[in-house]
Amino acid sequence: MKLNIAVLPGDGIGPEIVEQGMKAVKAICEKYGHELSYKHALVGAVAIDETGNPYPDETHELCMQSDAVYFGAIGSPKYDNNPSAKVRPEQGLLGMRKKLGLFANIRPVTTFPSLLHKSPLRAELIEGADFMCIRELTGGMYFGRPQGRSEDGNTAYDTCVYTREEIERIVRLAYQYAQKRRKKVTVVDKANVLATSRLWRQVAQEIEKEYPDVETEYMFVDNAAMRLVQWPKSFDVMVTENMFGDILTDEASVITGSLGMLPSASIGVHTSVFEPIHGSYPQAAGKNIANPLATILSAALMFEYAFNLMEEGALIREAVTASMDANVVTEDIAENGKAYKTSEVGDWIADYIA
Amino acid sequence: MKLNIAVLPGDGIGPEIVEQGMKAVKAICEKYGHELSYKHALVGAVAIDETGNPYPDETHELCMQSDAVYFGAIGSPKYDNNPSAKVRPEQGLLGMRKKLGLFANIRPVTTFPSLLHKSPLRAELIEGADFMCIRELTGGMYFGRPQGRSEDGNTAYDTCVYTREEIERIVRLAYQYAQKRRKKVTVVDKANVLATSRLWRQVAQEIEKEYPDVETEYMFVDNAAMRLVQWPKSFDVMVTENMFGDILTDEASVITGSLGMLPSASIGVHTSVFEPIHGSYPQAAGKNIANPLATILSAALMFEYAFNLMEEGALIREAVTASMDANVVTEDIAENGKAYKTSEVGDWIADYIA
Ligand SMILES: CC(C)[C@H](C(=O)O)[C@@H](O)C(=O)O
Ligand SMILES: CC(C)[C@H](C(=O)O)[C@@H](O)C(=O)O
């Protein structure tokens, strides 16, 4: 198969972790005889520094022509500490989401037995938790207009908007994933307060009927925030709108204790983007100490979701598990023993695959 | 002192727990020689059943004439399972908040040594946690207009609005509480995405200067959702807008393992409301098994916040601690031993106070 990938390392540790992921991607292509074609492009603070634009047109063109985008991380202290900077890395991220039509952000939340002691939750609550958060990514308050200030500057407003089509598309996706999993969908909204949530619930109640094999649960967002901590194992597939998803998926990502291990996929209309959940971790940049496993696992998702190459995805996952079993891991998860460098972990995994 | 209280028991376990709280209130008034005058009124599902209105005008009049409102809980399965019911108990709650101008919902989050094992978090993370969540309660998406549907029904919208005055009022309150505590305020927003959050941050940055003795921390809401689970002890006073507050305060309330113990105060322009954080727990209604301690602790807040009677509040708190030390508690928190009835716990605490 011919694989056409755009590589966007971004800021901070982005370049070094994406480099390790690309080693795994190349090893897989070699082994399975796929023809790999890839090109790098700028995004985030580095793109602002070089072009003045966090998501340059050139980068966008490359993404549009690619079957998948392999993404590192964005964000730089230079901008984080200055919320009123006119051009910000986040604008690049939001622009990319909108322009590529990345409507569904998918985060599988899984636990790793050897990392359970790092979870803030009691082991019995989190052990074996395995669910998927699906966050709508191109609608809601993030993109709704009008947004701004009154003339005197003393009143501010944002608008949350959703259309039936936007909701249908992502709720259907949730049911399709649930059918391949434990067959349960939790629709999270605030239908007791918001008009958009009432539309979400109405549409979900219609779509629910198309999937009689899947159990549906409706939950208010405040309740979901509690349940993630109290009983994470009760979830299989959770689906929700953009802002609630921002909050809940981050909450979900820390309960496992394996934030450095969690990949994500953003499914788009034009192409799809694969990236680790963790951020650009500027303090570690250039030190060859960052954990590349979430990025490597994002490559597994890329093979599975973008190319439907399930065996390839499974082999990457196997290699990651093997590296953990062999204790070939970076300092953040190394236990009583030697910590490996970012590049050493990447090499080990590529060797394993080969 | 003359205390003029409106008593709104509401639905489910509301009446039985408020009854226990009123025993404590009466015991305190007796002991300290305060003249207590109180009247009951309807709210919630019971109010809908009797008057068709979840917050009847008569109830509102009573609240307006009272120095404090002592509130139980609202919500009934009859309405919960029917999100399209035209008249719903929640409307009563939202109507009450708006009409009484209850702009600040205050939730002290504290831990109880004997309940730490009930926390979903590892003991070392939560032991000794002691912070306060302040949620703006009459603005944001809950009340912003326009809210509704397009003519064809296929697009829905909500509006989030905040004015400088609304933000100033509650941020100042946060600093005032922080001055009496550990002198740290965490302002939670999503200033990297929302115009309303940018106004929040701008106003907070101005007010911050008026309180040089207090440390200020700005945090994005997704980060706050993580931090509550990873490092709850890093918070002292957290302040945020209505919807973020709905989610974060509920998350905060379960990390302690003592949801049945947490009181709240809603500070208003016209009067203030004191109520437990937990809900109406319909399954337990009428069984005399519900835990009345959160409601009794809400009475402590009432003496302190509404009447500035600190000694009275402290004595109620002492009585609650004593009941726990003596194992005179309901089945939800009783340990290897006899569980007491709701009314028995209420009597014991009133006796202790006397
Ligand atoms: C950086 C920010 C705009 C972004 C978001 O809120 O979507 C981030 O928190 C995320 O979840 O990817
Ligand atoms: C019942 C509902 C409208 C309410 C809210 O969202 O404010 C509740 O969740 C709360 O927190 O008091």
pLDDT at B328: 96
Tens of pLDDT, residues A59-81: 999 999 999 999 999 998 888 66
**Closest-CA residue of chain B to A229:** B120
Residue range B167-186: average pLDDT? 98
Tens of pLDDT, residues A316-349: 999 999 999 999 999 999 987 799 999 999 999 9
pTM above 0.85, yes or no: yes
Grade residue A127 by pLDDT with cuts at 50, 70 and 90: very high
Residue range A5-9: average pLDDT? 98
**Is A190 an active-site residue?**
yes
| Spatial distance between the Cα atoms of B225 and B189, rounded to a whole number of angstroms | 11
| Spatial distance between the Cα atoms of B340 and B328, rounded to a whole number of angstroms | 6
Residue A11 and residue A276 in contact, taking contact as beta carbons nearer than 8 Å: no
Among protein residues, the one whose CA lies closest to atom 1 of ligand 1: A90
Which atom in ligand 2 lies closest to the alpha carbon of residue B242? Answer: 7
Tens of pLDDT, residues B257-289: 888 899 999 999 999 999 999 999 999 999 999
| Spatial distance between the Cα atoms of A269 and A266, rounded to a whole number of angstroms | 10
pLDDT at B81: 63
Distance, in angstroms, between A232 CA and closest chain B CA? 10
Among protein residues, the one whose CA lies closest to atom 3 of ligand 1: A90
Phi and psi torsions of A152, nearest 5°: -80, 0
Residue A70 and residue A299 in contact, taking contact as beta carbons nearer than 8 Å: yes
Burial B318-354 (b: 16+ CB within 10 A, else e): ebbeebbeeebbbebbeeeeebbbbebbbbbbbebbe
B244 touches chain A (CB under 8 A): yes
pLDDT at A259: 86
B120–A193: do the CB atoms touch at under 8 Å? Answer: no
Phi and psi torsions of B71, nearest 5°: -120, 140
A194–B141: do the CB atoms touch at under 8 Å? Answer: yes
A195–B156: do the CB atoms touch at under 8 Å? Answer: yes
Among protein residues, the one whose CA lies closest to atom 10 of ligand 2: B246
pLDDT at A81: 63
Distance of CA B268 to CAs B64, B134, B179, B271, Å?
11, 13, 21, 5
Distance, in angstroms, between A328 CA and closest chain B CA? 26
Read off the tokens for A252. 């979900």
A90 touches chain B (CB under 8 A): yes
pLDDT at A324: 95
Domain with CATH 3.40.718.10 in chain B: 1-101+269-354, 103-263
Residue to substitute in B246, B262, B273, B298 for testing ligand 2 pocket (most ligand atoms within 8 angstroms of CB): B246
Residue B315 and residue B49 in contact, taking contact as beta carbons nearer than 8 Å: no
Which residues, including other chains, have CB under 8 Å from residue B165's CB and lie 6 or more apart? A154
Q: B207 CA distance to ligand 2 centroid (A)?
A: 28
Residue B352 and residue B322 in contact, taking contact as beta carbons nearer than 8 Å: yes
B310 dihedral zone (left: phi>0; alpha: psi -120 to 50; beta): alpha
Residue A69 and residue A63 in contact, taking contact as beta carbons nearer than 8 Å: yes
Read off the tokens for B26. 């009466």
B302 C-beta neighbours (distance < 10 Å), count: 30
**Among the ranges given (A251-260, B22-31, B125-134), the one the predictor scored with the smallest mean pLDDT:** A251-260
Distance, in angstroms, between A305 CA and closest chain B CA? 26
Q: Is A145 exposed, middle or buried (0-12, 13-18, 19+ CB in 10 A)?
A: exposed
Mean pLDDT, all residues of chain A: 96
Residue A87 and residue A78 in contact, taking contact as beta carbons nearer than 8 Å: no
Pick the CATH number of A103-263 from 3.40.718.10, 1.10.110.30, 3.60.20.10, 3.40.50.20: 3.40.718.10
Distance of CA A233 to CAs A114, A168, B120, Å?
18, 26, 13
The topology under which CATH files domain A1-101+269-354 is Isopropylmalate Dehydrogenase (3.40.718)
Does A85 score more than 80 pLDDT?
no
Pairs across A and B, CB distance < 8 A:
157
Q: Is B155 helix (H, G, I), strand (E, B) or coil?
A: strand
User: Which 91-110 residues of chain A touch chain B by CB within 8 A?
Assistant: 94
Among protein residues, the one whose CA lies closest to atom 5 of ligand 2: B246
B310 touches chain A (CB under 8 A): no
| Spatial distance between the Cα atoms of B305 and B180, rounded to a whole number of angstroms | 13
Q: Is B322 helix (H, G, I), strand (E, B) or coil?
A: helix
pLDDT at B191: 93
Binding residues of B for Mg(2+): 222, 246, 250
Residue range B229-242: average pLDDT? 98
Binding residues of B for substrate: 97, 107, 135, 222
For A226, the closest of B121, B156, B251 (CB atoms) is B251
B221–A247: do the CB atoms touch at under 8 Å? Answer: yes
| Spatial distance between the Cα atoms of B334 and B274, rounded to a whole number of angstroms | 25
Q: Is B192 helix (H, G, I), strand (E, B) or coil?
A: coil
Tens of pLDDT, residues A274-318: 999 999 999 999 999 999 999 999 999 999 999 999 999 999 999
A246 touches chain B (CB under 8 A): yes
| Spatial distance between the Cα atoms of B211 and B72, rounded to a whole number of angstroms | 36
Q: A249 CA distance to ligand 1 centroid (A)?
A: 11
Strands A102-110 and A263-268: antiparallel
Mutation to test the B interface, candidates A188, A217, A250, A278, most B Cβ within 10 Å: A250
Grade residue B83 by pLDDT with cuts at 50, 70 and 90: low
Residue A197 and residue A191 in contact, taking contact as beta carbons nearer than 8 Å: yes
Q: B282 CA distance to ligand 1 centroid (A)?
A: 38
Q: Is A241 exposed, middle or buried (0-12, 13-18, 19+ CB in 10 A)?
A: buried
Which residues, including other chains, have CB under 8 Å from residue B332's CB and lie 6 or more apart? B260, B289, B291
Residue A90 CB–ligand 1 contact under 6 Å: yes
Please identify which of the residues A80, A250, A332, A347 carries the catalytic annotation.
Answer: A250
Quick one: which ligand is closest to A245's CA?
A: 1
Residue to substitute in B76, B88, B94, B277 for testing ligand 2 pocket (most ligand atoms within 8 angstroms of CB): B94
